[in-house]
Amino acid sequence: MTEPNAVESTPERDGTVPAAARGEPTETINEDAYLPEPDERDVDATVLVVDNYDSFAYNLVQYVGELAAEVIVVRNDAVDVEEVRDLDPDGVVVSPGPGTPAAAGISIPLFDALDRPIFGVCLGHQAMCASHGSPVGHAPDVVHGKPSTVTHDGEGLFGGLPERFEVGRYHSLCVERTDLPDELVETARTDDEREVVMGVRHETRPHVGVQFHPESILTEGGKRMIWNFLKLCERWENE
């Protein structure tokens, strides 16, 4: 797989916070769990990662880069929608980040403007929902570096994964299921009495989102979810 390409130079990032300081386990799960055999993993797709000024973005870049043909990285305020169209990626990943979707540069406009595959992660998931009019409000509990068990519909991103699995959550905002419009379908939720929305997909566009972090060491099968998205990009490219 190729090394990520940056469209422009960016300021030096903050140092990565050690896992122990974030309250995460220092022993990682098997990142390759649920992936196909090594000779079947490479996906012929070029993916643009929109960095919402978050250290987790480059964990996503690493995972995508291990599986995709090419990765391009841009900051959320470094390009506009037309420049993204000119780059012509097969798919887009909108990364986690601080703050609200409204302050996340091109994150919301991308979901409005593009018909190609887009994968929103955490803040990116909230941007996807906000682009369809869903209010983004305070989560029932603030969760940063905590695992939760989720259930899901077994389709799309969640193909090939167990019915229930652990995910890493890092968010204080969320979208309520009662606020989802008809065109957004809930695909995952926490396996508890709160049933917080953990995943959505668009009914007709190849847009998907998850509130948790597939790139976190707390998430079981995160790389499989990214592979599933890349296969969606590959199919879209070949249609």
Q: Are strands 91-94 and 43-51 parallel, antiparallel or unpaired?
A: parallel
Pick from 235, 184, 231, 179: nearest CA to 207: 184
Pick from 75, 29, 33: nearest CA to 217: 29
* Cβ atoms within 10 Å, residue 141: 13
The residues assigned a catalytic role are: 122, 213, 215
DSSP state letters, 164-219: EEEEEEEEEEE--GGG--TTEEEEEEESSSS--EEEEEESSSSEEEESSBTTSTT-
